[in-house]
Amino acid sequence: MNTAIYYHPEAYTTSGPRLMGRNAAGESFLRGFIQYSKCTEFWVQVQKKEHANHFAQTVKSLGRDEPIKMLDLKSLGALKEVGNIYCPGPGISEHAFHRSLAGQTQAGISPHLSWSLSGITHTTASARSMDALVSLISSPVQVWDSVICTSNAVKANVEKLLQAQANYLIERLGIQRLILPKLPVIPLGIHTEDFKYSPIQKSEARQFISAHEDDLVVLFMGRLSFHAKAHPLAMYQALERTKKTSGKNVILIECGWFANEHIEKAYKDAAHLACPNIRVIHLDGRKPEDRSTAWASADIFCSLSDNIQETFGIVPIEAMAAGLPVVVSDWDGYKDTVREGIDGFRIPTIMPQSGMGTDLALWHALEIETYDMYCGHTSSLIAVDIDAAANAFHQLFTNSELRKKISAEGIKRAQEVFDWSAIIPQYESLWSAQHELRSSSLSSALSGQKQTAPSAHSWPARMDPFAAFESYPTRVLNQTTKLILAEHSIETVSALVHEYTQLTMVKYAERVLPTTDEIQTVLAEAALPTSSIELVRNILPERQAFVFRSLTWLIKLGVLKVAE
């Protein structure tokens, strides 16, 4: 089954001024599609003719010489010949309206039966993405359209948004029927051959960073953003602990890019405080040669993502293809890609229960805070288990045979499951299924639609992030969660809190954090033998919920931990 590609160069290139995950995913997909598609001609829909020329050059550069057919909005009706159009984002509603308009001018052709639409999720936390998703309810999409979800966690999030919007419209307007696109789960792919490095390349890379044979090199690859990617404190603390327990010399490579000098300084200050005995190297992830140096020199990969703007996380798969055991958070798409104890280790995560982030959603909805601050404040209340991370590092640091075994499993999984040669056939199978469904009668296609039960979400596209993304963490903080001090001495943990709250990457979230007095009250209660979440009852009534959710922040700092 063929498809047309909705093409704008920006969505399919990493050569722009800001390297974002969606750009890398789009570029990788396009290369995979051109290399492995079984189509006999390439269709492309563009806004400008020069975009079609750019697409044609890309096709030719990858060794394909099939004909290229270009269309724009003026020739939209020609899509009925190809039968499907792929969009590099979730916003297929606009394309559904385009399809309806095109059908009005074609006698005898139902506007909804002309062709199928296919989109894909990237981040689902931004206002633009959430608006695009909830608009599916009221736009003329059909059951033979699809929005590909890159992980099961993302699919659960999308279903929550759609369910909430449907419930709102049922309550508000009494709608009787829902027509929604399919939500298939297909992971992103990679080109595994790009991550093969010879012994000579590995040796030269380690020489470049001055790593000795017995040094253990841990790699974080990705945008260096504590508020919108992965907060590094858990990684820093776990590595510092493991260096002491294992006796190994450890080098940490952070390969990415800082948005500004302010963020760069925040990282350096935090590393100096939390892992003073770890040598930290920064490489520019926007430069191919630096990325190659990072991959070739590393022994272990780490990504303790704790951010709702993440959805899939392609870098752990690249790490597996490079033969690196991975230590990742048990979060979003990592749950699907990394098998615990086989490809590496998934470290437990925790966040507050549903209903504890309504102020975050409100400030985001009203644009009182930027999207970056919305993500950052939410992330500040999401924690990764530092003890578990340190334990995972210890196992890998002290057992070279385990590293070899995990390396072999990761390479095999990356090649068999996540290489584009395995992923593109899944896309083409989906498009064929959409074509078959679209070819059947409209009435049979819509049979069996069920009306959903109502619930209370006043603005589904601006839902409480802890409700919308509750499928992401390992567990949620609730009234039954029991917490204890991470250290025996209140004086020790109090001093630790004081030090960490002076860090730029902690202090920036001051609005959503408890006061010094509230922290001391929590720590005093947590030190009691009968300590539990009920300790917040000792806080002033109007502050109970605020302090309750901030317990995950104290876990994030390594001050509290969940009792076994």
Please tell me the predicted confidence (pLDDT) of residue 75.
86
Read off the pLDDT of residues 436-457 as tens digits, 9 standing for 90 and up.
Answer: 998 874 445 444 444 444 344 5
Residue 104: pLDDT band (50, 70, 90) is very low
Domain 192-348+385-418 class? alpha beta
List the chain domain ranges.
4-188+423-445, 192-348+385-418, 467-562
Read off the pLDDT of residues 224-256 as tens digits, 9 standing for 90 and up.
Answer: 999 999 999 999 999 999 999 999 999 999 999
Asked whether the CA dihedral 220, 222, 223, 226 is positive or negative, the reply is: negative
Please tell me the predicted confidence (pLDDT) of residue 197.
97
Which tokens belong to 170? 């049922």
Enclosing H/E stretch for 217: strand 216-221
Fold (CATH) for 4-188+423-445: Rossmann fold (3.40.50)
Pairing of strands 560-562, 483-485: antiparallel
Torsions phi, psi for 225 (to 5 deg) = -140, 110
pLDDT winner (highest mean) among 58-67, 165-174, 215-224: 215-224
Is residue 461 within 8 Å of 158, Cβ to Cβ? Answer: no
Please tell me the predicted confidence (pLDDT) of residue 540.
62
Please tell me the predicted confidence (pLDDT) of residue 456.
47
Least confident of 7-21, 456-470, 484-498, 529-543: 529-543
Read off the pLDDT of residues 142-198 as tens digits, 9 standing for 90 and up.
Answer: 999 999 999 999 999 999 999 999 999 999 999 888 999 999 999 999 999 999 999
**231: exposed, middle or buried (Cβ count in 10 Å: 0-12, 13-18, 19+):** buried
Residue 130 carries which side chain, given as an amino acid letter? M
431 or 104, which is more confident?
A: 431
Please tell me the predicted confidence (pLDDT) of residue 452.
43
Which residues lie closer than 8 Å to 57 by C-beta, 6 or more apart?
Answer: none
Please tell me the predicted confidence (pLDDT) of residue 73.
84
110 or 367, which is more confident?
A: 367
Q: What is the mean pLDDT of residues 421-431?
A: 96
Please tell me the predicted confidence (pLDDT) of residue 238.
98
Return the residue matching tokens 């979440």: 533
Does pLDDT of 518 surpass 70? yes
Does pLDDT of 432 surpass 90? yes
CA distances from 497 to 86, 109, 189, 494, 528 (A): 49, 67, 41, 5, 19
Q: Which of 94, 103, 108, 118 lies closest to 43 in space, CA to CA?
A: 118
Please tell me the predicted confidence (pLDDT) of residue 108.
42
